[in-house]
């Protein structure tokens, strides 16, 4: 990977960080409602893994699915930032036409198959996407991002078993940030190394890596993605990471120490990559400052502006999208 | 026309739809090598192979979820859940995912799955194998719920369900799989929506669905011997409900009874009667009657079981009450 690709990835991550910070601000201004879960700190995982997958190429690409902390996965998969922001604003131009909100970003034109609020629910959906890919022999794979806490759901065990028995091309990416809301993994999970819960139990290859250094993430993700695609088998990859902000906006983080936060922030994914690029001479500090300013302006002048100016859904359309709005009368009737 | 059992009708619909569209697959426990608990997929494993007739482990929530995930990208899975009691394990994925994905995505993603499952009491299967639960699914926006009363609908509605773009729950009944009926030998479809007047009458409307339609038909025969002409309406679809057909019938007969095998509270009967109150209250000459199961877990003991669930005589007596004859 050459320097200009690395610079592009750095720009991606700075954009994602700013996007999430801007969501925070808009939430405080009450422009965004509901639950809002921000991804800051974990950027290297989604960015690095999806950089190694076939995304951003529309409907021919790999399928991506995740939980409620979904903005960045959708962005990297190729969903337009302005549509995601418009969704958070509840607007008709939003990626889910204002019906979903932060936890339910969907963009089928980018093969981003949704964010889901029920912890553990995406596991089987991902395996189903993989089953569809395998059945249609398209050489696409499904990539499922979920947290460490999700692995204590039954769907984790049920789905890993079936994905293994049926040889489904699905990559499970575990973003282990050490917490499920305010419960530390030591207090909820008997085997804290998640990748160890998979290999002998379900006969699925698995591994654990640093999730803060995007170079490591990419190197390991590439192997995993290639394995899933070439072998047509599942793989489980665990990345050790950290979320900087509270679980959602209502979280005062009383369950962890400032020292712990500071330790992780020393290994900030944006800092690791930018330091490396500066050290190699590919970038100067001033270039990064310039990048930050450009991103700031792009988010204000394009993303936020679009969300602000877009119309809300028409209340007359309340009943749209419940069932097929144009059903074929041959199958649906009514009976005559 | 050919005399066909309910299970054979379902098997034939699977076979034809799988031939018609390579994206149709079937999933469930024991449906492949074993041929299906109710023989609904008999012989199809040999014909279509393990990739399309998928024997699933005992993981209802996740294999239903896998079917839903596959349906999001164009597959058409028909998922069999061995008993509606076990569908409770798949409620998260059915209610929180299948029913809501179209809406949450602003109409951009759909989940055209079919879930088939028998609900109802059979012969002393006791509390954990006798649930009916239709009311639970019919209260969920974003699902279709249908209840074929016999082979004609079992075949024609399954075929329509496979082709519809919505998640469809087909509630069958353990006591109906061997029920026989003449059905056309040519391919046909029966629409998912619309109640059906299955017996014309003038004096009272008996409304049923699934197995209780048969109780209503039997009761109508008894009433005929008393000189009462009963109309029988099969709801066919519990979501959505065809209120128009119900209204027309009640405006004709002025008396109504709803028969359900489920417990009464927050049930099918409550919903139907509320609709009648809203749509044609002034057409009624007497108070509506609900016939339903006792509000107890279904007992194992045969006598208790019979006491807990409605039978033909319960419907008959209920009709006499609505007619003011007792
Ligand atoms: C089925 C279900 N149970 C509980 C919750 C509440 N809840 C939301 S997020 C969460 C913690 C999940 O932790 P993890 O999987 O580690 O993901 P993270 O938030 O750390 O990214 C819980 C318990 C839920 N949304 N769904
Ligand atoms: Mg976590």
- CA A336, chain centre distance (Å): 48
CB contact under 8 A, B75 and A63: no
What pLDDT sits at residue A336?
Answer: 86
Question: What pLDDT, in 10s, does the model give residues A69-126?
Answer: 999 999 999 999 999 999 999 999 999 999 999 999 999 999 999 999 999 999 999 9
Q: In whole angstroms, how far apart are CA B289 and each of B196, B209, B265, B314?
A: 20, 15, 14, 11
A247 lines ligand 1 (CB under 6 A): yes
The number of helix segments (H) and strand segments (E) in chain B equals: 13, 14
DSSP 3-state assignment of A88? helix
- Convert A129-141 to b/e letters by CB count within 10 Å (16 or more is b): bbbbbbbeeeebb
Pick the atom of ligand 1 nearest to A180's CA: 13
CB contact under 8 A, A124 and B64: yes
Q: How far is the C-alpha of B207 from the C-alpha of B220, rounded, in Å? A: 11
Enumerate residues 111 to 140 of chain A having a beta carbon within 8 A of any beta carbon in chain B: 113-114, 116-118, 121, 123-133, 135-136
Question: What pLDDT, in 10s, does the model give residues A257-314?
Answer: 999 999 999 999 999 999 999 999 999 999 999 999 999 999 999 999 999 999 999 9
CB contact under 8 A, B163 and A328: yes
Give the global pTM.
0.96
Question: What pLDDT, in 10s, does the model give residues A194-207?
Answer: 999 999 999 999 99
Pocket test for ligand 1, best of A181, A183, A238 (most atoms within 8 A of CB): A181
C-beta atoms surrounding B33 within 10 Å? 10
Is B166 in contact with A323 (CB distance < 8 Å)?
yes
Instruction: Indicate if the pLDDT at residue A250 is higher than 90.
Output: no
Q: What is the mean pLDDT of residues A6-30?
A: 98
Write down the mean pLDDT value for chain A. 97
CATH class of B2-183: alpha beta
CATH class of A3-308: alpha beta
**pLDDT category of residue A58 using cuts at 50, 70 and 90:** confident
In sequence order, which ranges of B38-195 are alpha helices (DSSP H)?
44-48, 60-71, 84-87, 91, 101-104, 134-138, 151-163
Instruction: Indicate if the pLDDT at residue A241 is higher than 90.
Output: yes
Q: How far is the C-alpha of B197 from the C-alpha of B231, rounded, in Å? A: 7
Q: How far is the C-alpha of A40 from the C-alpha of A15, rounded, in Å? A: 11
**pLDDT category of residue B123 using cuts at 50, 70 and 90:** confident
Q: What is the mean pLDDT of residues B6-19?
A: 98
Q: Which of B66, B95, B194 to mutate to test the interface with A (most CBs of A within 10 A)?
A: B66
DSSP 3-state assignment of B260? strand
Instruction: Indicate if the pLDDT at residue B12 is higher than 90.
Output: yes
Nearest chain B Cα distance for residue A9, angstroms: 28
Is A140 in contact with A54 (CB distance < 8 Å)?
yes
Question: What pLDDT, in 10s, does the model give residues B254-268?
Answer: 999 999 999 999 999
Of residues B51, B62, B189, nearest to A135 (C-beta): B51
Q: What is the mean pLDDT of residues A18-40?
A: 97
Percentage of the residues of chain B whose pLDDT score is greater than 90: 99
What is the total residue count of chain A? 336
CA atoms within 13 A on the CB side of A3: 10
What pLDDT sits at residue A252?
Answer: 86
Among residues B110, B248, B247, which one has the least CA distance to residue B166? Answer: B110
Which value does ipTM take for this structure?
A: 0.94
Tell me the domain boundaries of chain B: 2-183, 196-322
**pLDDT category of residue B315 using cuts at 50, 70 and 90:** very high
What pLDDT sits at residue B307?
Answer: 97
Q: What is the mean pLDDT of residues A309-335?
A: 97
Instruction: Indicate if the pLDDT at residue B74 is higher than 90.
Output: yes
Question: What pLDDT, in 10s, does the model give residues B138-193?
Answer: 999 999 999 999 999 999 999 999 999 999 999 999 999 999 999 999 999 999 99
DSSP 3-state assignment of A114? strand
What tokens were used for A201? Answer: 């139990």
Give A303's DSSP letter: I
What residues contact A31, with CB distance under 8 A and at least 6 apart?
A88, A89, A307, A308
Q: Please tell us whether the domain made up of B196-322 is placed in CATH 3.40.50.920.
A: yes
Pick the atom of ligand 1 nearest to A177's CA: 20
């Amino acid at each position: 990977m050459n320097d200009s690709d690395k610079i592009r990835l750095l720009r991606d991550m700075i954009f994602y960080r700013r996007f999430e910070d801007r969501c925070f601000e808009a939430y405080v201004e009450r422009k965004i409602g509901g639950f809002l879960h921000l991804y800051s700190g974990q950027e290297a995982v989604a960015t690095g893994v999806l950089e190694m997958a076939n995304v951003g190429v529309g409907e021919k690409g790999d399928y991506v699915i995740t939980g409620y902390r979904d903005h960045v996965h959708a962005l990297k998969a190729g969903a337009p930032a302005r549509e995601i922001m418009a969704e958070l604003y509840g607007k008709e131009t939003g990626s889910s036409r204002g019906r979903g909100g932060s936890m339910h970003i969907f963009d089928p034109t980018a093969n981003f198959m949704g964010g889901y609020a029920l912890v553990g629910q995406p596991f089987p959906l991902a395996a189903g996407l993989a089953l569809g890919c395998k059945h249609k022999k398209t050489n696409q794979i499904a990539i499922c991002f979920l947290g460490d806490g999700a692995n204590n759901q039954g769907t984790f065990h049920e789905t890993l078993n079936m994905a293994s028995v049926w040889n489904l091309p699905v990559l499970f990416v575990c973003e282990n940030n050490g917490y499920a809301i305010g419960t530390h993994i030591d207090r909820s999970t008997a085997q804290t190394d998640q990748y160890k819960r998979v290999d002998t139990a379900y006969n699925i290859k698995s591994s654990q890596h640093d999730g803060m250094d995007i170079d490591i993430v990419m190197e390991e993700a590439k192997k995993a993605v290639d394995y899933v695609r070439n072998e047509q088998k599942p793989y489980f990859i665990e990345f050790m990471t950290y979320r900087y902000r509270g679980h959602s906006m209502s979280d005062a983080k009383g369950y962890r120490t400032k020292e712990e936060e500071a330790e992780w922030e020393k290994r900030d994914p944006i800092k690791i990559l930018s330091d490396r690029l500066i050290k190699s001479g590919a970038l100067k500090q001033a270039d990064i400052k310039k990048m930050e300013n450009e991103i700031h302006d792009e988010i204000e002048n394009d993303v936020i502006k679009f969300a602000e100016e877009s119309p809300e859904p028409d209340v007359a359309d309340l009943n749209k999208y419940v069932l097929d709005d144009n059903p074929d009368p041959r199958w649906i009737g009514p009976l005559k | 026309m050919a005399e066909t059992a309910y299970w054979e009708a379902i098997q034939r619909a699977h076979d034809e739809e799988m031939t018609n569209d390579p994206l149709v697959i079937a999933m469930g426990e024991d449906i492949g090598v074993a041929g299906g608990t109710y023989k609904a997929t008999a012989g199809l494993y040999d014909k279509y192979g393990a990739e399309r007739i998928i024997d699933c482990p005992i993981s209802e929530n996740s294999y239903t979820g896998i079917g839903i995930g596959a349906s999001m990208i164009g597959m058409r899975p028909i998922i069999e859940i061995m008993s509606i009691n076990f569908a409770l394990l798949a409620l998260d994925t059915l209610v929180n995912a299948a029913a809501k994905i179209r809406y949450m995505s602003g109409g951009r993603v759909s989940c055209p799955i079919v879930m088939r499952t028998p609900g109802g009491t059979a012969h002393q299967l006791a509390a954990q194998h006798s649930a009916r639960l239709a009311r639970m699914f019919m209260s969920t926006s974003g699902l279709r719920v249908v209840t074929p009363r016999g082979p004609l609908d079992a075949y024609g509605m399954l075929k329509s369900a496979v082709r519809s773009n919505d998640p469809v729950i087909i509630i069958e009944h353990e006591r109906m799989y061997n029920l026989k009926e003449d059905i056309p030998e040519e391919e046909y479809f029966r629409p998912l929506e619309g109640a059906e007047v299955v017996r014309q009458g003038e004096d009272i409307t008996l409304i049923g669905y699934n197995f209780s339609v048969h109780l209503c038909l039997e009761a109508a025969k008894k009433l005929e011997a008393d000189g009462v002409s009963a109309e029988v309406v099969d709801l066919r679809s519990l979501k959505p409900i065809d209120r128009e057909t119900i209204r027309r019938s009640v405006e004709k007969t002025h008396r109504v009874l709803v028969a359900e095998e489920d417990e009464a509270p927050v049930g099918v009967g409550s919903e139907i009667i509320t609709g009648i109150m809203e749509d044609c209250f002034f057409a009624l000459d007497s108070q509506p009657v609900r016939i339903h199961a006792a509000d107890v877990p279904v007992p194992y003991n045969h006598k208790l079981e019979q006491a807990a669930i409605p039978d033909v005589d319960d419907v008959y007596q209920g009709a006499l009450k609505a007619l003011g004859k007792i």
